[in-house]
Amino acid sequence: MKRFLLIALAVLLAAGLAFAQAAEESIGKQEMKTQIFVDDLGREVVLPADITRIAPSGSNAQVLVFQVAPEKLVGIADKLTGKELEIYPEYTHDIPVLGTLYGKKANLNREALILSNPEVVIDVGDIKGSAEDMAKELDKVSSDVGVPVIFIEANMDNYPDVFRKLGKLLGVGDRAEKLASYYDDVVAQVCGHPSNKMPRVYITSSNDGLNAVIAGKNHAQCAEKAGAEVVTTSKLVQSNGNVSLETLYQLDPSYIFAYTEEGYRTITTSDLWANLRAVRNNKVYLVPSVPHWFIDNPTGTNRIIGLYYLGAIFYPELEIDIVEKTKEFYSLFYGKDLSDDMVRDILHMN
């Protein structure tokens, strides 16, 4: 009996050791399933090999991640409202609103971020200040929230590279290639158009029509990429971002784009604006904004359709069917099939 107990004990010990070894090997294998991602600040960040849960750092990242890998998005930066809800799929209506991770507009909901349990936070946009300072800031943010944060430099000059980089990182290379190729086609058609004219453009974001988008800034990039000259330079704009109506008469732009309906009404109906060339020639446009503005706000990949939109306005000889191009863009980038009437409503053509 004693011998039997000793044998049984030995068997149990051996089984326990085998189980512990197997568990250790399993954990080791899990720990090995990682990848080192070198972001555009030169930071080496350890990430899961198979990323399934992503939080965006802000609105730019929200749009980009949704377009590349919508099923991996665990939160959004801003609450969806109005017609945005008609474009974004239903599952996004209920996922957490996380806010903006850092910067001047930081309003991060830390509790919501923790509960959403992301494997990585993706930040995209321009390098703010020096790369070294920004890297330190993101390292601190990552430490504070307990989630790896990576940065990808993204603007209208490198979107194809951004799509492909994210596609490789997230395991959705085929989809990313479709988006990259689409953008290459847009640029080739609109930005490669050999025009002898450079449209002179004024863009405003305020209800009084006097808050100006400044030439050379990222908010002007879509219009400038489409071949336009944004007439309001930093030297002409006041410290609060406004420009005087007198200055606008001196600049006399050929086209005016307004972001708000009230701003559009002010420009098109007020006697104070009536003698501007763009107003006289009916070249004032209310910029489409569903689910995001076509040429700005956010300064993200939502602006890709903005190139077709501006190309159709500036270069009628290109014969761009903006209704069909808009339907095509929404289907590919937002996964939303629109009717002609819905598109005309978005484009303010009804």
For residues 138 and 226, membership in a common domain is answered with no
Q: What is the largest CA-CA distance in the chain?
A: 110
What was the pLDDT predicted at 243?
Answer: 97
For residues 95 and 226, membership in a common domain is answered with no
pLDDT at 269 over 80: yes
Range in 7-16, 153-162, 213-222 with the lowest mean pLDDT: 7-16
For residues 265 and 236, membership in a common domain is answered with yes
Asked if residues 98 and 73 have their Cβ atoms less than 8 Å apart, the reply is no
Specify if 25 maps to a domain.
no
Confidence of residue 350 (pLDDT cuts 50, 70, 90): confident
Q: Could you tell me the CATH number of the domain that includes residue 243?
A: 3.40.50.1980
Considering its fold, how many domains does the chain have in total? 2
Q: 252-265, pLDDT tens digit by residue?
A: 999 999 999 999 99
Examine residue 291 and say whether the peptide bond preceding it is cis (omega within 30 degrees of 0): yes
* Domain coverage including residue 340: 190-346
For residues 163 and 238, membership in a common domain is answered with no
Among residues 96, 163, 103, 98, the alpha carbon closest in space to that of 138 is found at 103
What was the pLDDT predicted at 32?
Answer: 54
For residues 122 and 198, membership in a common domain is answered with no
Q: 70-106, pLDDT tens digit by residue?
A: 999 999 999 999 999 999 999 999 899 999 998 888 8
pLDDT at 53 over 70: yes
Q: 178-193, pLDDT tens digit by residue?
A: 999 999 999 999 997 7
pLDDT at 137 over 70: yes
For residues 212 and 162, membership in a common domain is answered with no
Pick left, alpha or beta for residue 317 (phi over 0 → left; psi -120 to 50 → alpha; otherwise beta). alpha
Specify if 62 maps to a domain.
yes
Specify if 27 maps to a domain.
no
